Amino acid sequence: MARDALAAAEAVTASDLTLLECDRALIRGVVTGDVAPAEAVRLRGLLNRAALHWNLLRIDGEVVERARRPFPAEPLRALDAVHLASALIAAANVPGLALLSFDHRIRRAAQQLGLSLVPVRGVAAA
C-alpha cells in the first residue's frame, strides 16, 4: 500500500526522521533475526535510491518548536509530534500535500489539523 501511494505521488516530501526510522527498523530486524542481513542491504539500497528523488525536510528549529506544542489529538509520542510538525510545515509550502501514515494516532491528529491523508481508508486503529 505504501509503495503504491509513493509510486502514484507527483512528488514525495519526507522528514529526515522517516529515513532514520526506516534504517533503525532494518537494523532492529537484522539484530532480532526477523530480516536477513542481505535482505536489509537490499532494502536499504531501495530506500536510498528512492530517497534520492524525495524532497527531504530537515529537523530544524521550526520543526522542533512546533513539535513541542500540543496537537489536537493528544497524547502523542515525541517522534510522532516531529512527523506531524514536519507535515504541517510541508503543507504550508506544498499545495495538495497528503500525509502518508498507517499510524492511527498520527492520522487522527493530522485529520484534526486539516491535513489530507493517504491511504484514504483501509487503516485499522491499533
Annotated domain spans of the chain: 2-118
CATH architecture of 2-118: 3-Layer(aba) Sandwich (3.40)
Output the nine-digit C-alpha cell for 95: 499545495
DSSP-derived secondary structure for 86-114: HHHHHHHHSTT-EEE---HHHHHHHHHTT
| pLDDT digit string, tens, across residues 35-91 | 999 999 999 999 999 999 999 999 999 999 999 999 999 999 999 999 999 999 999
pLDDT of residue 123: 55
Distance between CA 97 and CA 110 in Å, rounded? Answer: 12
Between 52 and 123, whose confidence is greater? 52
Of 68, 83, 111, 118, nearest to 97 by C-alpha is: 118
Output the nine-digit C-alpha cell for 69: 506544542
Distance between CA 10 and CA 54 in Å, rounded? Answer: 10
Assign 32 a pLDDT band (cuts: 50, 70, 90): very high
Q: What is the mean pLDDT of residues 21-31?
A: 98
Q: What is the pTM of this model?
A: 0.86
